[in-house]
Amino acid sequence: DLNECGLKPRPCKHRCMNTFGSYKCYCLNGYMLMPDGTCSNALSCLMANCQYGCDVLKGEVRCRCPSPGLQLGPDGRTCVDIDECATGRVLCPRFRHCVNTFGSYICRCHKGFDLMYIGGKYQCHDIDECSLGHHHCGSFSHCYNIPGSYKCKCKEGYRDNGTNC
């Protein structure tokens, strides 16, 4: 019989007992045997079944969430999203609005604005629908760009709402 307990590296983390043709692993008190032969604290994250892992502090297992935009749910194991936009604590830059995401938020440009890199930083820049031809003004009207949109105004001698003159 080969004494596997005397081999290097040792097959067991804590205690090893040689048996005929094999061996058995044992753990010290307060630990449990894992399938790979290692010993894990009996109050381990494995036993807590946490969604994103846990911390063991002073013998107590506490599940944790990986982002400040998440908090522990009522079950104490899974993480639920905090809607930062609804709390009113988020202030987005000019021409942007808050959009909640799982665990965080983004500040998205308002409709009619594009995100552009201007002057060393990202800014929401007004889209000129008139010069790009992205408008619905009729052939007898002029297109006027306004922040985030455009307006149609009838040419001189024509009248109506600006779109149909």
- Domain residues for the domain of 105 are 86-126
pLDDT at residue 145, as a whole number: 92
Residue 9 and residue 76 in one domain: yes
Residue 136 and residue 153 in one domain: yes
pLDDT at residue 70, as a whole number: 93
- Whichever domain contains 142, its CATH number is 2.10.25
Q: Give the pLDDT band (50/70/90) at residue 3.
A: confident
Alpha helix segments (H runs only) across 54-120: 84-87
Total structural domains within the chain: 3
Residue 41 and residue 10 in one domain: yes
Residue 33 and residue 63 in one domain: yes
Tens of pLDDT, residue by residue over 19-55, are 877 888 887 776 777 777 777 776 667 777 888 878 7
Q: Which of 82, 97, 113 finishes a domain?
A: 82
Residue 8 and residue 74 in one domain: yes
* Residue 77 clears pLDDT 80, i.e. is over it: yes
Residue 104 and residue 151 in one domain: no
Alpha helix segments (H runs only) across the chain: 45-48, 84-87, 129-132
Residue 44 and residue 9 in one domain: yes
Q: Give the pLDDT band (50/70/90) at residue 59.
A: low
Tens of pLDDT, residue by residue over 146-157, are 989 999 998 888
Residue 100 and residue 50 in one domain: no
Residue 22 and residue 90 in one domain: no
Residue 119 and residue 136 in one domain: no
Tens of pLDDT, residue by residue over 84-137, are 999 888 899 989 999 999 999 999 999 999 998 888 888 899 999 998 888 888
Residue 75 and residue 8 in one domain: yes
CA atoms within 13 A on the CB side of 86: 6
pLDDT at residue 30, as a whole number: 67
Closest CA to 145 of 126, 165, 124: 126
SS3 string of 117-136? EECCEEEEEECCHHHHCCCC
Residue 75 and residue 10 in one domain: yes
Q: Which of 82, 102, 117 finishes a domain?
A: 82
